Amino acid sequence: MSEVITNQPIYFPPAKRADLMNPLVLAYMGDAVYETFIRQYVVSQPNHRPNHLHREATKFVSAKAQARALDRMLPLLTEEEVDIMKRGRNAKSGSSPKNTDILVYRHSTAFECLLGYLYYQQRFDRLDELMRFTLEK
């Protein structure tokens, strides 16, 4: 089990190594990590009206936006990262998406799985690099 890291304000190490975790669990955490990153980003911008913050965040955290971001970053991914991404894409969640088609949903899950994996591997520089890449137009 990992040691508690000091450069993160809140951290509980997972019960299993990241490479042994269910990809949907990695996606669950990746979703939270990315949501926090995007919320921090929109709050760093000048307009703080709540409705504006929500609309801006949704531009990044929707399934469609995450699937597009994954598609754009594919050439940047290592072989290991592609393998993790594929595990997330192929995971069967048991539920169907409400606002998008299944392929977009699976790619969004793959994106979140990769972020969750990097988070639990404590590869924060790489995680930050890929998340910042999603901010680029």
* Residue whose pair of structure tokens reads 């955490």 in the numeric block: 29
Residue 38 falls within a domain, yes or no?
A: yes
Residue 12 falls within a domain, yes or no?
A: no
Residue 9 falls within a domain, yes or no?
A: no
Model confidence at 60: pLDDT above 90: yes
Residue 86 falls within a domain, yes or no?
A: yes
Residue 59 falls within a domain, yes or no?
A: yes
Q: Which of 63-72, 87-96, 109-118 comes out lowest in average pLDDT? A: 87-96
Model confidence at 2: pLDDT above 80: no
- The CATH code of the domain that includes 74 is 1.10.1520.10
Domain that holds residue 31: 18-133
Q: Report residue 37's pLDDT band, with 50, 70 and 90 as the boundaries.
A: very high
Residue 99 falls within a domain, yes or no?
A: yes
Residues noted as catalytic: 31
Query: What is the number of structural domains in the chain?
Result: 1
3-state secondary structure labels for all residues of 38-87? HHHHHHCCCCCCHHHHHHHHHHHHCHHHHHHHHHHHHHHCCHHHHHHHHH
The answer to whether 111 and 89 are in contact (CB under 8 A) is: no
Q: What is the mean pLDDT of residues 117-121?
A: 96
Strand, coil or helix: what is 92? Answer: coil
